[in-house]
Amino acid sequence: MVTSPADFIARSCICCASAQLDKSGAVLMPFVAKRVFDHDPVEVTADWGLRDLRAGMAYTLCNSLQCQACGVLFLDYRFTDAQMAALYAGYRDEAYTRQRDHYEPGYAAVAEHYHGRESYIADVERWLKRHVPARPAVLDWGGGSGLNTPFRGQHALLHVHDISAVELAEGAESIGPEQLVRGHYDLVTCCQVLEHVPSPRALIEQILPAMDRDTLLYVEVPHEALMREHPGSLTLARAKKHWHEHINFFTHQALHRLLENAGLTVLDSHLLPVDLGWRKAEVMGVLARLA
């Protein structure tokens, strides 16, 4: 039984449904805990008068889970729709940035880098080009403003579906799930989204109605440093002591299983080193179509 959106705590793998999970205690970082649960860190002091507690800071507790079958490493909490909406309201706008900078001094300076199109998108387009027709009709699922949508500016059509309700970049048009038309799109992209969501499987299933036999789906997630540094390791739960907005750390195998279990065939995949200006990273991309 794959973890469903109704499960507040994951009971099985979010990608392959295996119940073999390794578990280790961790904390949810205060910004996320504040937005999702309205929790603030508290200091337990002697004047609480609690005999069985040691004095010190208390943070929102959680578990790190790692699937022993496909290797995906993830937070045990699976946020509800309302919690997700609270976490991502006004994503990276002024109020969001101010609040996050309060919990994470220095965030505002880093956030400056998010306002331009990432240079690695050109590399993604180069990789996709051999599969995708010229001037494609594109649907970007979870694409925020559409700023980083592949082929923006070279598109015949660009629809963006996103929960954050941010202002859209030039050329992008916002649509809701009820407006999806099957067969409308050459390419559906879902980039830098699955690492944020409580049920990657449910998200892929939401996308499927927009696809027909000729539609390609490009899914891209970060190849997180912890996963890069320990390829094939199944003992990463104990190494992951804190969780932030990326609540799922994927392996190639996990991503493939996720797509295949949703009825898709993986056509191609890549690892791409990216220079974000303020740090070096790597992304993992998979191209699939209906099986």
Q: Which residues bind Zn ion (CB under 5 A)?
A: 13, 15-16, 18, 67, 69-70
Nearer to Zn ion, 16 or 286 (CB): 16
Nearer to Zn ion, 19 or 181 (CB): 19
Nearer to Zn ion, 13 or 187 (CB): 13
Q: How far is the CB of 11 from Zn ion (least distance, A)?
A: 12
- The C-alpha atoms of residue 100 and residue 93 are separated, in whole angstroms, by 11
Q: How far is the CB of 258 from Zn ion (least distance, A)?
A: 8
Nearer to Zn ion, 69 or 175 (CB): 69
Q: How far is the CB of 283 from Zn ion (least distance, A)?
A: 20
Nearer to Zn ion, 121 or 255 (CB): 255
Burial bucket for residue 49 (CB in 10 Å: 0-12, 13-18, 19+): exposed
Q: How far is the CB of 171 from Zn ion (least distance, A)?
A: 38
Q: How far is the CB of 16 from Zn ion (least distance, A)?
A: 3
CA–CA–CA angle 222, 228, 234 (5° rounding): 105
Nearer to Zn ion, 66 or 148 (CB): 66
Q: How far is the CB of 224 from Zn ion (least distance, A)?
A: 16
